Structure 1
């Protein structure tokens, strides 16, 4: 499909079935309420220990609802892959399983770049440079407290700070690039999960990368950028006009479905 056709179709899609949209909105509100309640209860647990248990239970409920919503979004991607104009309904157990699988996909596609960034940080000696700076500052503070001169350390600390800044900048720059790349891979992995129903296929990083090339890296980037622009513009309008902020309860779930539908339509080129 043409890029603009994808965006137009995806933007209208959630409104084609208000019942399922309403269910998704309600689930998002309930999940958010349990997540917030769990956080508050955990804070309260430092005063009333029993609150830790209730906070944990609230977080588990929020997570389960989140998995169901995530699984439903996989079915939305599938509808886009099949170019089916009918909005999928909720199939609770299937949605839960797909949502759990999607959670596993997200974890794996986060761990890999995180591990790469850790290796880069090790090779650029971020940890060593940080320890040198920390030890130098501590020795300087100790010297000032005990009354002996520490001026000779200033140069060493300055050099260590420069080394730390260089190593950190290198690690952050590479980290951003790696995480962006794997974010695109994860998007393809979600589409593979929707298309095949197989967690193994979704976790095949090499095939996800090949799917990206098959569709066309340029086309994928353009669609993703357009999705981001649409979401950003609508959120900016909501933030500028205060009394419209309440609509974010409805608009945010709508935009989430819109984005997933667009990903499905994008993947339909090679399905």
Structure 2
């Protein structure tokens, strides 16, 4: 009995820890959303205002997160950078969804040759390392945040395509699809939109949440390499790059954007798991 009781207690503890991480993730994303909306109100100063008399100051009452090498308030740059980074990640995931979802459904619903043609292109794109391909596309189009996020969206699209294709191929063999066909239903409006799309949206939403985290990391990486946000504008990656340059003089400043990125990516992944749990039709 003691073994059974210990197992029950262990399961309960894991469930409580899981619920705690979910609520922490909700709090993180809510805080990020508030900063995105009210960055201009919360910011104590302009993110681009320079003061060469206050270079690389430590944390203080006047500058809660210190200043960078140009005397700019790091807190103001982080707040405005949150808006830029989050909106850029949303743009990238939106592009991936708009491009990948219809192509994936077409591959899973269409004939064999269409499926083979689409998937060979997808395999070719996925054969490249994601960040290297994004860097190449961004460098070709020109370094700015819009081009960088278009590149990231192109890189993320194959993940949506493969998932949408797999789910569509599973749905098309279901009994209710055959019944709909027997009543004469066919085409986009009568089959795909009412029957296929609602039944594949759950794993797509989970994938979108996970890709948001990847897009945040990709934006930070490209901005760190000066292929995304251009000076003097701020983003998490731009602040990270500036902090890394002066790591010896102000070592604490590099942790600020790093923690912001890590916490938000963690929250996106946890919320993705929570979406899967909530939308699972087999959940008790």
TM-score using structure 2 length: 0.27
Greater Rg by CA: 1
| Structure having greater relative contact order (Cα 8 Å, sep ≥ 6) | 1
Which has the larger share of helix? 1
